Structure 1
Amino acid sequence: MWRPGMNFSMLKLAPRAMAVVCSEDELRVSLADGRSLSVPMAWFARLAHASQAERAHDELLGDREGIHWPEIDEDISIAALLLGQPSVQARRALA
């Protein structure tokens, strides 16, 4: 939060999700600042193998800084998506 004596470049704003859409091939996230992210579904094995109904039941975590899918116990942070980080399982498979 801003305090007297801070300049605005010192503020670190966490990216916040506004909407989440899962297709067969990709995860798309719309952010509060107007950006959209699209990453391959293959980055997240649990999501890739989930049913469409399971994928559609997502919950935004905290201050919309993460996404949770309760039926498949998958959590993804928006910061990790922005950094281009697939899940640990996907990183092992891609290595």
Structure 2
Amino acid sequence: MSTLVIERQARAQRVSVTDEELIVELDDGRTIIVPLAWFPRLLHGTPEERANWRLIGDGEGIHWPDLDEDIEVRHLLLGIPSQETQRSFHKWLQSRKQ
């Protein structure tokens, strides 16, 4: 007999960013707190840029349009920091200085 298992992924409800941490409150009651250093674009963003976020994919991810940053909730749950290459990050950082 086969059984169908449907796993529902936790979804973000609220997001806040301090100078040191990314804090994501999930719809299942958990709160994820990770070091901001995991996400260099957020780390280098202004408080205003960090505060300008929106949920994407019905809360499966978070998007910061001013920083061109997207973070998946499942990556946070798995402890996976930004996978952006140093080259890509430095190119982005240079474009901000222009």
The verdict on a shared fold, with TM-score over 0.5 as the criterion, is: yes
Q: Match for 1:26: what amino acid?
A: E
CA RMSD of superposed structures (Å): 1.8
Q: Name the counterpart of 2:93.
A: none
Counting matched residue pairs gives 85
In the TM superposition, 1:9-20 aligns within 5 A as: 10-20=5-15
Task: Give unmatched runs, 5+ long, in structure 2.
Answer: 87-98
For residues 84 and 90 of structure 1, the distance between their equivalents in structure 2, rounded to whole angstroms, comes to 17
Deviation at 1:88, TM superposition (A): 1.6
Q: Scaled by the length of structure 1, what TM-score is found? A: 0.83
Question: How much does 1:90 deviate?
Answer: 8.0
Give CA deviations for 1:29-60 in whole Å, capped at 9, x if unaligned. 00000000000000000000000000000010
- Asked if 1:86 is matched to 2:81, the reply is yes
More helix as a share of residues: 2
Q: Which amino acid aligns with 1:25?
A: E
Equivalent position amino acid for 2:66 in 1 = E
Percent identity over the alignment is: 47
Q: Match for 2:25: what amino acid?
A: S
Correspondence for 1:29: 24
1:51 and 2:46 matched: yes
The 2-side partners of 1:26 and 1:6 are apart by 40
